[in-house]
Chain A
Amino acid sequence: MKAIETHDLFKRFENVEAVKGINLEIEEGELFGLLGPNGAGKTTTISMLCTIVRPTSGSASIYGHDVKKEPGTVRGLIGIVFQDPSLDDNLTGRENLDFHGRLYKVPRSEIAGRIKDVLELVELSDKADVIVKKYSGGMKRRLEIARGLLHHPKVLFLDEPTLGLDPQTRRHIWEYIERLNKEKQITMILTTHYMDEADQLCDRIAIVDHGKIVAMDTPDNLKHDVGGDVVIMTVPNGGEQLKVKLEQLEFVKSTQLVDGALRLSVDKGETAIPIFMDVARQEGIAVPSISLHEPTLEDIFIKYTGREIRTQEAADGFANMHARGRR
Chain B
Amino acid sequence: MPNGRMEFMGDVYSIWLREMIRYVRARSRVVTSLITPLLWLIIFGSGFSSSLSFGGPGGSTNYINFLAPGILGMTVLFTSIFSGMSVMFDKEFGFMKEILVAPVSRTSIVLGKALGGTTQASIQALMILALSTFIGVRISGTLGLGAALVLILVTIFFIGMGFVGLGISIASRLENIEGFQVVSNLLVLPIFFLSGAFFPVTSLPSWMKFLVNINPLAYGVDALRYAVTGLHTYALTLDLAVVFGFFVLMTVIGSILFRNVR
Contact = CB atoms under 8 A, between A and B. Distances in A.
Interface of A: 50-53, 72, 75-76, 78, 80, 82, 84-91, 95, 99-100, 102-105, 147, 327
A86 B102 contact: no
6 contacts: A82-B98, A84-B97, A88-B22, A90-B25, A102-B13, A327-B93
B21 A103 contact: no
B14 A327 contact: no
A88 B97 contact: no
Contact of A103 (B11, B93, B94): B11
Nearest to A73: B103
B83 to A, nearest CB: 14
Contact of A75 (B13, B18, B101): B101
Contacts of B22: 88, 90-91
B179 interface: no
Given A85-B93, A91-B18, A327-B93, A103 B100 contact: no
Interface of B: 7, 10-11, 13-14, 17-18, 21-22, 25-26, 92-95, 97-105, 262
A102 B13 CA distance: 9
Nearest to A72: B103
Provide the main secondary structure of the chain B interface. Answer: helix
B102 A88 contact: no
B97 A103 contact: no
A78 B100 CA distance: 13
Contacts of A88: 18, 22, 93, 95, 98
Q: What 6 A-B pairs come out closest when comparing CB atoms? A: A102-B14, A103-B102, A75-B103, A86-B94, A76-B103, A86-B98
B95 A103 contact: no
Contacts of A103: 11, 14, 99, 102-104
Contacts of A104: 102-103
A147 B95 CA distance: 13
Contacts of B100: 52
Contact of A89 (B7, B17, B93): B93
B21 A52 contact: no
A105 B7 contact: yes
A130 to B, nearest CB: 13
Nearest to A75: B103
Contacts of B10: 102, 105
Given A84-B94, A90-B22, A95-B21, 16 more contacts: A50-B101, A52-B101, A78-B101, A80-B101, A82-B98, A84-B97, A86-B95, A87-B94, A87-B95, A91-B18, A95-B18, A99-B17, A100-B102, A103-B11, A103-B99, A105-B10
B103 A105 contact: yes
A86 B25 CA distance: 19
Nearest to A78: B101
A91 to B, nearest CB: 6
A52 B102 CA distance: 10
A75 B105 CA distance: 11
A203 B261 CA distance: 35
Contacts of B26: 90
B164 to A, nearest CB: 19
A158 to B, nearest CB: 14
Contacts of A87: 94-95, 98
Nearest to B105: A72
Nearest to A144: B98
B7 to A, nearest CB: 7
A66 to B, nearest CB: 15
A82 B7 CA distance: 26
A72 B4 CA distance: 12
Contacts of A147: 98
Contacts of A72: 103, 105
A160 B113 CA distance: 31
Contacts of A78: 101
B94 A51 contact: no
Nearest to A74: B103
Contacts of B93: 85, 88-89, 327
Contacts of B98: 82, 86-88, 100, 147
A103 B105 CA distance: 10
